[in-house]
């Protein structure tokens, strides 16, 4: 007999375990889950996502979710994995989830910045690394580009530093980095199918809408705010945590080159950044005993947006 140890969703996992978990999802749900490799990191690791949905033979719409674009935000990959488990567990008994699994495919990337994620697992001195691991330009000794400043969305204009040692270094040009290029090419080549684009970060308890640049407002800003506020209310109902909704210049500070803005500029109507717990008490080092409540509330918020996108 085969005895399988249950995957512990309420612990943080190194990349090797997350990769095996992805393969296990395909083995456990071969009719619903596939792994799609869509690029390579700077250090040549395969960037992969789980494509999840019921095969209906019809053309399907899609939902995008990526986690771990910033290396140190460990709660984000934990959430993507929790999200996958939840939808796979609920669709068999929940009629609404079954309907959505028939109409859309979920494209979930648990760890986008794999090189950076591994680096944060190396030792305590590198635990707070944010960027990817590509070397800077020739005249600079530092490593890493901020992947959430590297997308082709008002690239390099606000909320960046061209000092390559900075945590907001946007790279040498839009999508100069293989990780940002992979998302750009995968989503960009099938942008018409995506109803919604969710990119998961920590921390700050925010739901951010496009755009990060103060001079631009999304054409459907009112809709984005309404849906975002609905999501924040859904989050609040689970454990009473407050999430603030808005465009980043209004909520904190302006930024450019984010994947959220890029996705909206590509025509994907519902594009959001989630900043999960907490508000700074533990910050990026969110204790493991908060993984479960954080994931439960964020799932409720994400599902609010996804359901709206599906029903629209």
Active site residues per annotation: 275
Under rule CB under 5 A, which residues in 59-98 are in contact with Zn ion? Answer: 70
Return the structure tokens found at 213: 């640049």
Minimum distance of Zn ion from residue 258's CB (angstroms): 9
Tokens of 185: 């090419």
Whole-number Å distance between alpha carbons of 205 and 211? 18
Judged by CB, which is closer to Zn ion: 131, or 201? Answer: 201
CB of 39 to ligand ING, least distance (A): 20
Q: Residues for the chain: how many in total? A: 312
Q: Which is nearer to Zn ion, 13 or 201 (CB)?
A: 201
Binding-residue total with Zn ion (CB under 5 A): 2
Residue 193 engages ligand ING in binding (rule: CB under 6 A): no
Decide if 213 contacts 158 (C-beta within 8 A): yes
Q: Do residues 234 and 307 make contact, with C-beta atoms less than 8 angstroms apart?
A: no
Q: How far is the CB of 179 from Zn ion (least distance, A)?
A: 13
Write the binding mask 232 to 251 for ligand ING: x where contact by CB under 6 A, - elsewhere.
Answer: ----------------x---
Residues 68-107 that bind ligand ING (CB under 6 A): 70
Strands (E) across 256-310 are located at 270-276
Among 131, 273, 299, 302, binds ligand ING (CB under 6 A): 273
Binding mask 145-174 for ligand ING (x = CB under 6 A): ---x--------------------------
Task: Report residue 290 as tokens.
Answer: 């908060």
- Where are any strands of DSSP class E within 172-289? 194-202, 206-209, 244-247, 270-276
Q: How far is the CB of 235 from Zn ion (least distance, A)?
A: 18
- Buried/exposed 98-127: b ≥16 CB within 10 Å, e otherwise: eebbebbbbbbbbbbbbbbbbbbbeeeeee
* Site residues for ligand ING per CB under 6 A: 70, 148, 201, 208, 212, 248, 252-253, 255, 258, 273, 275
């Amino acid at each position: 007999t085969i005895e399988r140890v249950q995957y512990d969703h309420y612990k943080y996992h190194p990349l090797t375990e997350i990769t095996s978990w992805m393969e296990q999802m395909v083995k456990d749900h071969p009719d619903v889950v596939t792994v799609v490799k869509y690029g390579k990191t700077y250090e040549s690791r395969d960037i992969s996502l789980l494509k999840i949905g019921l095969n209906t033979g019809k053309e399907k719409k899609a939902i995008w979710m990526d986690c771990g674009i910033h290396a140190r935000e460990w709660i984000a990959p934990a959430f993507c994995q929790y999200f996958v488990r939840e939808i796979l567990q609920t669709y068999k008994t929940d009629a609404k989830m079954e309907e959505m699994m028939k109409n859309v495919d979920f494209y979930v990337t648990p760890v986008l910045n794999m090189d950076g994620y591994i680096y944060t697992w190396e030792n305590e001195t590198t635990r707070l690394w944010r960027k990817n691991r590509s070397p800077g330009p020739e005249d600079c000794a530092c490593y890493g580009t901020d992947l959430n400043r590297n997308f082709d969305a008002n690239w390099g204009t606000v909320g960046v530093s061209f000092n390559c040692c900075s945590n907001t270094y946007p790279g040498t040009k839009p999508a100069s980095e293989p990780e940002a290029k992979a998302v750009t090419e995968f989503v960009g080549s099938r942008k018409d199918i995506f109803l919604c684009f969710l990119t998961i970060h920590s921390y700050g308890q925010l739901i951010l809408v496009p755009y990060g640049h103060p001079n631009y407002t999304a054409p459907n800003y009112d809709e984005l705010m309404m849906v975002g506020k609905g999501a924040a209310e859904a989050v609040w109902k689970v454990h009473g945590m407050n999430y603030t909704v808005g465009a980043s210049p209004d909520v904190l500070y302006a930024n450019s080159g984010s994947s959220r803005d890029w996705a909206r500029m590509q025509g994907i109507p519902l594009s959001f950044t989630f900043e999960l717990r907490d508000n700074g008490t533990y910050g990026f080092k969110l204790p493991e005993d908060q993984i479960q409540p954080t994931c439960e509330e964020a799932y409720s918020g994400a599902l609010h947006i996804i359901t709206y996108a599906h029903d629209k």
